Amino acid sequence: MSHYKKLCDHYKKISNFNHLSAIGSWDQAVMMPAGGNESRSSAMAELSLHIHQLATAPHLGELFDKAASEDLSQVESASLREMKNQWQKSTVLPDDLVAAQSLAGSKCEHAWRTQRGNNDWSGFAQNFKEVVSLSQEEAKIRADASDKTPYDAMLDLYEPGVSCGQLDDIFGSLKTWLPELTKKIQQKQAGETFIKPTEVYSAEEQKLLGLDIMKLLNFDFNHGRLDISSHPFCGGVSQDVRITTRYDEADFVQSLMGIVHETGHARYEQGLPDSLKGLPVGQARSMGIHESQSLFFEMQLGRSSEFINQLVPLALKHFPDNNPAVFEAANLQKIYTRVAPGLIRVDADEVTYPAHVILRYEIERDLMNGKIGCQDIPELWDVKMQQYLGISTAGNYKDGCMQDIHWTDGSFGYFPSYTLGAIYAAQFMASMHKEIDVAACIAAQSLNPIFNWLHNNIWSKASSLTTSELVKQASGEELNAAHFKKHLEQRYLG
């Protein structure tokens, strides 16, 4: 057996345990009774430690050296690169830190689900301080091993090849034109009238509507399902994708687009190549590319006038007794393209959304680099919310610095992926338009040409290319935020 094949067998074993970990995490967030958290957290910590030990097995280093001299195909060489990258990122962390982080994260997240509703920052901070301390320890270890800043080392876990310097340039540019664009759009929309949803939209009917939309988007129900959680997410594994949403019976708007968003994540996972399943090279390229797919579905596709036209008959089918004027295409279009600064990131429109991301990026960057502490977060959050969105969150922790789940388990470095994803999505759509009449495909309910483009250029590549190689091959250029700006101007001011 070749050394490369031995590595493949080892990483497929790791993949099997990661599969169980993913489903265990999904169950913990969706199905598990509250009283099971302590026991589950212990079990998940034990599993995390076992996976870490497999990922850092001493004999892997020798196998990497020997496999590098074997006659490998282009894909196999990329596979070896990705396995080695994962190994290098795993070996720097000691076992006791991995186990401690798993326990602290589970404890913090579970308590957050109650503490957020109670606006209990002081209670949350007691658990959160431990998560931050352990993450800072991880960041320093990774920084020392890679000659990066602590935050850059954490960012590399989610966006390989991207640095703070690049993000500062991209986000700095956005901050120069987004405020004025937001103001112009609000001025334009000030004179518009539309009918807001005011009736009862049962959670069950919203779910049925969501399932119909998932069918339209070619979600594979033989390899996935839809459930409810306090924070929408896409989890599980590519062969068994678990997406969740939440329902507000006074407003169907957010849950529907939340389902479209999570379906984009799921279609990417379901579209990864079977031939590479279980290997690092067969995984999604980066979180920014993952978010590009969910935002392509939700923003580029889902909020287009052509797609909203497809929603009308489905909505009327599920809500026949509600005010039909709400579901007229022109009215839905106004609802789904309304621009207004708000408190909650997941409810934000696509124009103001980057401000929410930039705020979080700047705070977590300084937190990991040791420039600020946990106690500084509420005040900084309020200052930046006022600066970027004109809204105060003083004393309102549940709608301010406690609103996201990401930091509860130490996912520092994740947030930039959202806005990078929005930029990638606009760039991919601009390239797609050169080859496909996208509007005509949506209007005809013939979405396969769109999905085929995504499959051929993004999904089927998995991690065989670097992020920059993938973007350049798909669009003909490196990441270019000009496409995002053009998209927003055309949709909202055109």
Structure tokens at 352: 């103001």
76, 109, 262, 298: which is the annotated catalytic residue?
A: 262
Do 478 and 433 meet the contact criterion of CB atoms below 8 Å apart? no
d(CA 363, CA 366): 5
d(CA 234, CA 30): 12
Length of the chain: 494
φ, ψ dihedrals at 234, nearest 5°: -120, 120
HSE-CB at 330 with a 13 A cutoff on CA atoms is: 4
Rg (CA), the chain: 22
477 is catalytic: no
Nearest to 266 by CA among 440, 459, 434: 459
Do 459 and 272 meet the contact criterion of CB atoms below 8 Å apart? yes
Do 302 and 482 meet the contact criterion of CB atoms below 8 Å apart? no
List, by residue number, the catalytic residues.
Answer: 262
